[in-house]
Structure 1
Amino acid sequence: MLKASQRGNAPSVGFTAKAWSLSSSVAISAFLLSCPASATAQPFDTPSHAAPSAGQVAEGSDLGESTDIIVTARKQSERLIDVPQSVTAVSGADLVRLNATQFRDFANTLPGLQFTTSGAGQTQVNIRGVTTGTSGSQTVGIYIDDVPYGASTSYAQAGQLALDQGLFDLDHVEVLRGPQGTLYGASALGGVIKYVPNAPDTGEFGGTGQVGISSTRHGGTSYNGSGAVNVPIATDRAAVRVGGYYSRDGGFADNVALGSKNVDRSRVYGARIDLLVKPTDRLSIRLVGTGQNVRREGRGTIDYNFDRRPRYGDLQQNRLVPEAFDQNFRLASGTLSYDFGGAELTSISSYQTVRSVVRLDYSALFVPLLSAAAGIPLRSIGVRLDPKTDKFVQEVRLQSAGKGTFEWLVGGFYTDEDSNSKQLITGTNPNGTPFPLAILDVQLPAKYKELAAFGNLTTNLTDKLSVTGGIRYAHNKQRFAQTGGGLLGAATPARKSDENVTTWLASAQYRFSPDANIYARYATGYRPGGPNAVANNPTTGLPLAQPTFEADRLKNYEVGFKGQTADRKFAIDLAGYRIDWSNIQLVVTRNGLSLISNASGGARIWGSELTITARPTRDITVTGAFGYTDATLTAADADLGARKGERLPDVPKFTAAVTADYALSDVSIKPRFGATVRFVSDRQTSFDASPNSPQYDLGDYVTVDLRAGISVGGFDAQLFARNLFDVRGQLSGDARLSLAGGPVQVAVLQPRTLGVSVSKRF
């Protein structure tokens, strides 16, 4: 149960009481709360020929080899085919062959995974349709190894600033579908994306290097490079792995207002140092330091009308204020593992900082709003958001070793997070000089602490049948306030909340053979509730709107089948599910104040995912990945402007990615050729009668990629063509500016891009 308290002596003004000021504040607050100031993969053990279509083989395997895929979805190393839930793994080798440098380069080929974006670093991710559109807090947990990334609440716009991890020196990426509440905790309603870097090797010196260059039609030149080296310090006892990467995206969007070309050009660069020490055969210590910077000069969105035609021309936008984006991410972690013989103890400690600066042009919305409501004539209005998070996480778990009648895991989790989002809105006069007053100048300091205990128990009833039960109990405390002011803002009372949440897991698996099994899974997940910063009634001293909001909850029912033939020439991974999502968190307006509330109704999602791989000969691989998602509301909701049965936004009903690859493996010079065809069905950006963002139809699209490469003497070279037919597929859209006659800002597929890459492993 959520409880709230407040400081008695805190300011009680909130927003100014004048009608024009209140209405402007509501519009601005709703905007700020609801935005950041906003591969196909083969199942199981098939060999990898191209990425992401064959993302299931361990990195470093030669073409033509079949190796077991090892994942850590259940926080233990096991074969992918043995995990009783829907999981996809995309190997690091496949990401290299795909020339993937950003999340967008592989995400839209994985069934059940969707995203909205306005450029590197500004991405919202959802899995299995668990979204109501723009959201302040995330519904998908993002991990680097076992470390959760970013804020757990909506106060630092975590949902809109998903980690765009540089895709270098990775062992693989895991995508876990469905709620992962028992092992991964808060904000994993839809699932988890887990980046798993290559670990140091204490036995052998080695490394990798890669460079690439490409040209985008109507855009700029992109290039990237990365390298990593593994150095054993003491054979079988210690090693260090060091690497770095730099990626420049040339962009393709032109700003006609400022006469700037390719304003969405960006740079993503970073480094990692990873030290592994094994003092004894039982004890392992791993220390990792990593950092990444994102620099982007503008948003990668194009201005469209509601008839889906560009307003200013192909790949054109009109922004009076430059929309640069900067982000710095730093992470230090330490993992200690000790093998007691019958059980293994693991402790993971981490500290991270995330600093983002988001700049947006909202002249098209706020200039007419302030002119009509307040009589303030302005030329332009710019928004700057500075969300930041400092996060300490400690997890300790003890789990059984080996296979037996009972396999168990117990653990504890603690996080201490400090976040703050400075929000500044400034304007310019009609003559271009700065408006003398800040329209809004506030800070939103927040504190989040969570303590949790969790456990899983698997009982192997026979050598074929096993059942698993899991539970997690979490308690969190939060504090949130608004300080500052500006023309339309003011301080609000500091408020607190505390909340207890329990999540559950139950699954059963029957193994027909080591290469085929069927499973059933029930799991729950949640997002934390929290306090709202709302003004007090000056007469009664009571809050003018609800002081807190509660956690939303999700239940997932799933059945699946995984199988492959003994010769691994054919494999199938099929899952069907139903999701019941209740108490959904929404941005609403109450008594003229913008805040987060819980929907009285809920949503129901039916869906399925199918991945099929056929390998008729040693040199030919064909993979198809298909997804179906029917996500609808179970009740009408006035805050959303939605009717009962209406589809959730940004969720395609059908997705498909089919890949074919041919690679010679029995010759010293190994050529290869491949193609990928992707289909995404139509989506809408919001609900039919949304009061905050009119509905825009994104339509469907089909795109084709080609690649041809050669491997010789440890070198791998590849020519590639992305979006061969230069399709303007629309990924996501923001129609809030259209409330005042502005355009719909649409993120589109990268235009046709031709490039070459060369990599070397030594």
Structure 2
Amino acid sequence: MNNTRIMMLAGVSVLTLSAGAVHAQTAAKPAAAEPETVGEVIVTARRQAENLQNVPTTVSAVSGDSLKKLAITQFQDVAALVPGLSLGTSSVTAGRSPAPSIRGVSYDASTQASPTVDIYQNDVPIDGTVAFQAVYDIQAIEVLRGPQGTLRGRTAPSGAITLTTRRADTHDYGGYVSAQATDHDGRNLQGAANIPLIAGVLGVRLAGVIDENKGDFVTSLNSAFLPVKSTRSGRISINFTPTETFDATLSYQKLNSHKRQFTQVEGNGAVGGVSAAAPAGYNGPVITASQRLDVDDSPRFNYTDNDFLSAQLNWEVLGQRLSYVGGYTKGDATTVGALDYGNVLIGRSYFQNLNTRNSQTTHEIRLSSVGSDRLIDYTVGYFYSKAPSKTGGTQIASFLPGSFGSPGAPADPRVLDSRFSLPTLITVNNNATENSVFANVRLHLGEATEISGGVRHIVSKVDNVQTVFLGAGMISRAIGFPCSAAGFASTYGGGFCDIPIAAGKTPVQNSSQKNTEKPTVYNLSISHRFSDQVLSYGTFATSWRRGANNFALGNAENDPVLASLIFLPDEKSKSFETGIKTNWLDRRLRLNLAVFYQKYDGLLFQLGSIPYVAANGATTVVQNSTFNVGADSIVKGFDFDGAFQVTPNWSISGGISYADGKVDNDIVPCRDSNFDGVPDKGTPTLSDFRSRNIHVATCKSNVSVSRDPLWSGTLQSEYWRPVGGVEAYVRGLLSYYPENKRRNAGYTVPDYGLLNVFAGVRSPDGAWDINIFARNLTKTGVETSRDVDYTTPAGAVTSFFGDSGYRWTSYAPPREIGVSLRYALGAR
């Protein structure tokens, strides 16, 4: 806490970009033209450009100019500017997909439910794996809080994030180039060129980025590989405006990324000692989170190739506007991941190999009114989405006797003969289709009052098939007579024969889901402007998400509780929000506050480290697993943001977001060692489960549905002054996170703050800029997460050698010092 308090006391000039501090406008504003007011923030939250202070909902906007000023080149770093927004991976567990979370609900991509926060680029829905890359040539990013679905493509209960890329200018030539480098080998080179092909009619913009960094900076004691995250991307945008009543924008983006990463651990090394050849601590030393280390022999590799095409057309005809927004995405991702988590096998690795090919096609047609002086404005439309995907791969299902030396001797962790194992062949085919119709109406009662409402009826179809076959393997076993008599070889002698096992012809897992859902969501809002300085509003909205599943659960056929978790029902929610937006001191001060309450029926989220009886007969075991659950839940909280233009040369802005999301005393799977219905830290034994004839414990719970702290705050400020014909400036960004004990199973994350500072000079017209910066200037070091269970290698390796003694963890980023150079001209 000491570092944080020092930062807070010294941070009068340090702080976050919330909605009030940025300008999401089409043309970049020269730095020298900073007004004495906090300025007008233009957003497109309601699918039209309007002043943020007139929008009856909570929106945080970050302009492309703000991204440049704060040296932000990675999408996930935008979370430092928006309080309450989390843009990390869905778990510290390796291999999970990146996932945005907001308003008190954490999203886990492995639930296979749709996101709680949807992401759009140029109004087209995109996957998180596409968004979570280096960002470049961005016009604006908007974070919309609360249920979405009546105005744009898909329903989402917590919010949406929209990215708008820079449009081509049809009048002026121009462009920019920028370079950034840090002392931790971070490198970013990006630029754009704008070319008007036909003055006022046709323009093209070319943009690209080359980015390399070390990701989360984790290295391994047992590997020469270093972490790397590399992105190469290019984009071409065409703007066509042949008449005053028609415009078309086309954009094509190509993206390639390569990641090589380890998963950070902390702990004391092996604690099981099942085998005499595997004593305690044999697999590695004591490791603390501050060391940013792993012990695995091999990293996890990920290769992604993605193509993204979007189109936006508008035609004003007969006093109405006919609009089309469409997109096509094609992705090819390959993951090669080492599965010996915790380095239980010394000097040996085995892998999961997965390849996913997916695509998404979306079309949206809207008809809307034109003009701002009408009594009633309307929008009606149709949306279509089709998203097929196919995943295939292999991994070890289990190691058999003979894998780690002769079955007649203690298992040796330095020996691995993969012939004595059973592989799995995994195939997942998914095809999701959505058709929906929607309508939105706004009624203007004079100049001060507006009533608006919207509805969307959805027809959602899904056809999901997951199949797992066992491949061919071999087991070393004594058969009571010479191996040669039975035609078997003998690797180890001593009467142990190499007995082949044929590949399975019947799948060990064959799960499918094929159905159609027809939900309807709606919203209603009323706003009233009491004066030029004060607007108040109230909003009611509903949301829906298709139910998730637990296809990987074993033993469900023998237990009604487990069986009920295979297919979880659809999630529904109702949200209430009221807010006030104000400006004071001749628009030099802006203060906005919103209070919300959201009730979920069957909120879809994950609970980790739940013990359950995983199989039957001689192979019955108790194992810890992650469960997808659907539980009635309540989220309540508030969002506050403010901005103050202290002097013409000094601005301050900041925000606080509070969200308390909990299960509403519903029954969920739990860790309950004495089966008294109260969660605890113990693990029941197999005999405990059998004595009660159950396979998993359940508890009435009010567990948090978020991994994030109850609240977070951001503070941002800039001061500049002319010096010898140029402008010198200093700016800072402080992101603060309080103590967090939610969903951390015994580990409490202490409170901490991350301080980024920037100093530089620029030309008065904003044509060039040179600055040096430091991220996490005070070197704040905090373990930001820790798994409750030890890492578990695939293939039941721990049954041979005991627990790894290491837990997955994560740590605050190190201090990183860098320099940024930028030069621009013309239409930037």
| TM-score by shorter chain over 0.5 | yes
Aligned to 1:396: 365
Are positions 1:234 and 2:164 aligned together? no
The alignment-based identity, stated in percent, is 23
Are positions 1:358 and 2:335 aligned together? yes
Q: How far does the alpha carbon of each residue in 1:388-432 deviate from its partner, in whole angstroms, 9 at most, with x for none?
A: 321111111111111211111111111111112334323886434
Once residues 710 and 200 of structure 2 are traced to their aligned partners in structure 1, the CA distance between those partners, rounded to angstroms, is 50
Aligned to 1:413: 383
Give the superposed CA RMSD.
Answer: 3.4
1:294–1:328 CA contact under 8 A, matched in 2: yes
Which range moved further: 416-425 or 57-66? 57-66
Are positions 1:142 and 2:110 aligned together? no
Are positions 1:334 and 2:364 aligned together? no
Once residues 130 and 271 of structure 1 are traced to their aligned partners in structure 2, the CA distance between those partners, rounded to angstroms, is 34
Q: How far does the alpha carbon of each residue in 1:34-69 deviate from its partner, in whole angstroms, 9 at most, with x for none?
A: xxxxx822444x577xxxxxx899633434146532
Are positions 1:507 and 2:479 aligned together? no
Are positions 1:743 and 2:743 aligned together? no
Once residues 778 and 320 of structure 2 are traced to their aligned partners in structure 1, the CA distance between those partners, rounded to angstroms, is 55
Give the secondary-structure state (helix, strand or coil) at the position aligned to 1:385.
Answer: strand
Aligned to 1:652: 709
Once residues 193 and 731 of structure 1 are traced to their aligned partners in structure 2, the CA distance between those partners, rounded to angstroms, is 24
Give the secondary-structure state (helix, strand or coil) at the position aligned to 1:96.
Answer: helix
Task: After TM superposition, list the pairs within 5 Å mapping 1:244-643 onto structure 2.
Answer: 244-251=208-215, 253-260=217-224, 263-299=226-262, 301-303=264-266, 310-311=287-288, 314-340=291-317, 342-364=319-341, 380-403=349-372, 404-426=374-396, 430-435=414-419, 437=421, 439-486=423-470, 490-492=508-510, 494-529=512-547, 545=563, 548-565=567-584, 567-586=586-605, 599=630, 601-639=631-669, 641=671
- C-alpha deviation, 1:191, in angstroms: 0.5
Once residues 439 and 212 of structure 2 are traced to their aligned partners in structure 1, the CA distance between those partners, rounded to angstroms, is 44
* Structure 2: unaligned runs, 5 residues or longer: 1-14, 270-285, 405-413, 472-503, 616-624, 672-678, 680-699, 793-802
Give the secondary-structure state (helix, strand or coil) at the position aligned to 1:391.
Answer: strand
1:360–1:382 CA contact under 8 A, matched in 2: yes
The one-letter code matched in structure 1 to 2:516 is D
Once residues 733 and 772 of structure 2 are traced to their aligned partners in structure 1, the CA distance between those partners, rounded to angstroms, is 14
- C-alpha deviation, 1:485, in angstroms: 1.2
- C-alpha deviation, 1:210, in angstroms: 0.5
Relative to 1, partners in 2 of residues 1:396 and 1:669: Cα closer, same or farther, differing over 3 Å?
A: same
Aligned to 2:187: 223
Q: How far does the alpha carbon of each residue in 1:657-689 deviate from its partner, in whole angstroms, 9 at most, with x for none?
A: 12222012697301101222221123347365x
Once residues 683 and 536 of structure 1 are traced to their aligned partners in structure 2, the CA distance between those partners, rounded to angstroms, is 33
Aligned to 1:130: 105
Once residues 352 and 451 of structure 1 are traced to their aligned partners in structure 2, the CA distance between those partners, rounded to angstroms, is 18
Relative to 1, partners in 2 of residues 1:334 and 1:437: Cα closer, same or farther, differing over 3 Å?
A: farther
Relative to 1, partners in 2 of residues 1:537 and 1:562: Cα closer, same or farther, differing over 3 Å?
A: closer
2:602–2:633 CA contact under 8 A, matched in 1: no
1:493–1:536 CA contact under 8 A, matched in 2: no
Once residues 265 and 724 of structure 1 are traced to their aligned partners in structure 2, the CA distance between those partners, rounded to angstroms, is 23
Are positions 1:83 and 2:55 aligned together? yes
2:101–2:107 CA contact under 8 A, matched in 1: no
Of the three residues 705, 720, 726, the one matched with 1:669 is 726
Once residues 350 and 66 of structure 2 are traced to their aligned partners in structure 1, the CA distance between those partners, rounded to angstroms, is 44
Relative to 1, partners in 2 of residues 1:331 and 1:539: Cα closer, same or farther, differing over 3 Å?
A: closer
Relative to 1, partners in 2 of residues 1:295 and 1:471: Cα closer, same or farther, differing over 3 Å?
A: same
Once residues 720 and 460 of structure 1 are traced to their aligned partners in structure 2, the CA distance between those partners, rounded to angstroms, is 48
Are positions 1:698 and 2:749 aligned together? yes
Q: How far does the alpha carbon of each residue in 1:560-599 deviate from its partner, in whole angstroms, 9 at most, with x for none?
A: 1112236331111211111112212356999959998653
Once residues 254 and 493 of structure 1 are traced to their aligned partners in structure 2, the CA distance between those partners, rounded to angstroms, is 37
Once residues 553 and 646 of structure 1 are traced to their aligned partners in structure 2, the CA distance between those partners, rounded to angstroms, is 19
- C-alpha deviation, 1:439, in angstroms: 3.0
Of the three residues 769, 779, 799, the one matched with 1:726 is 779
Aligned to 1:761: 824
Once residues 623 and 496 of structure 1 are traced to their aligned partners in structure 2, the CA distance between those partners, rounded to angstroms, is 49
Aligned to 1:27: none
Once residues 315 and 125 of structure 1 are traced to their aligned partners in structure 2, the CA distance between those partners, rounded to angstroms, is 24
Which range moved further: 580-589 or 445-454? 580-589
Give the secondary-structure state (helix, strand or coil) at the position aligned to 1:181.
Answer: coil
* Structure 1: unaligned runs, 5 residues or longer: 1-38, 49-54, 151-157, 369-376, 689-694
Give the secondary-structure state (helix, strand or coil) at the position aligned to 2:667.
Answer: coil
Once residues 290 and 460 of structure 1 are traced to their aligned partners in structure 2, the CA distance between those partners, rounded to angstroms, is 40
Give the secondary-structure state (helix, strand or coil) at the position aligned to 2:739.
Answer: coil
- C-alpha deviation, 1:721, in angstroms: 0.5
Relative to 1, partners in 2 of residues 1:341 and 1:715: Cα closer, same or farther, differing over 3 Å?
A: farther
Once residues 544 and 378 of structure 1 are traced to their aligned partners in structure 2, the CA distance between those partners, rounded to angstroms, is 38
The one-letter code matched in structure 1 to 2:586 is D
Relative to 1, partners in 2 of residues 1:471 and 1:317: Cα closer, same or farther, differing over 3 Å?
A: same
TM-score of the superposition, structure 1-length normalised? 0.82
Once residues 296 and 687 of structure 1 are traced to their aligned partners in structure 2, the CA distance between those partners, rounded to angstroms, is 27
Q: How far does the alpha carbon of each residue in 1:486-533 deviate from its partner, in whole angstroms, 9 at most, with x for none?
A: 259635154411111111111111112344311111112222236775
User: How many residues in Structure 1 have an aligned counterpart in Structure 2?
Assistant: 685
TM-score of the superposition, structure 2-length normalised? 0.76
Which range moved further: 229-238 or 630-639? 630-639
Relative to 1, partners in 2 of residues 1:442 and 1:682: Cα closer, same or farther, differing over 3 Å?
A: same
The one-letter code matched in structure 2 to 1:703 is L
Which range moved further: 646-655 or 171-180? 646-655
Once residues 735 and 551 of structure 2 are traced to their aligned partners in structure 1, the CA distance between those partners, rounded to angstroms, is 44
Relative to 1, partners in 2 of residues 1:696 and 1:205: Cα closer, same or farther, differing over 3 Å?
A: same
- C-alpha deviation, 1:135, in angstroms: 4.4
- C-alpha deviation, 1:535, in angstroms: 10
Relative to 1, partners in 2 of residues 1:462 and 1:247: Cα closer, same or farther, differing over 3 Å?
A: same
Once residues 356 and 509 of structure 2 are traced to their aligned partners in structure 1, the CA distance between those partners, rounded to angstroms, is 18
The one-letter code matched in structure 2 to 1:264 is P
1:480–1:533 CA contact under 8 A, matched in 2: no
1:478–1:497 CA contact under 8 A, matched in 2: yes
Give the secondary-structure state (helix, strand or coil) at the position aligned to 1:107.
Answer: helix
Once residues 544 and 62 of structure 1 are traced to their aligned partners in structure 2, the CA distance between those partners, rounded to angstroms, is 60
- C-alpha deviation, 1:145, in angstroms: 1.3
Which range moved further: 109-118 or 624-633? 109-118
Relative to 1, partners in 2 of residues 1:280 and 1:47: Cα closer, same or farther, differing over 3 Å?
A: closer
Aligned to 2:81: 109
Q: How far does the alpha carbon of each residue in 1:704-759 deviate from its partner, in whole angstroms, 9 at most, with x for none?
A: 21110110262111110100121223444545544644423223232000000011
1:367–1:378 CA contact under 8 A, matched in 2: no
1:663–1:673 CA contact under 8 A, matched in 2: yes
Once residues 578 and 57 of structure 1 are traced to their aligned partners in structure 2, the CA distance between those partners, rounded to angstroms, is 34
Aligned to 2:770: 717
Once residues 743 and 554 of structure 2 are traced to their aligned partners in structure 1, the CA distance between those partners, rounded to angstroms, is 32
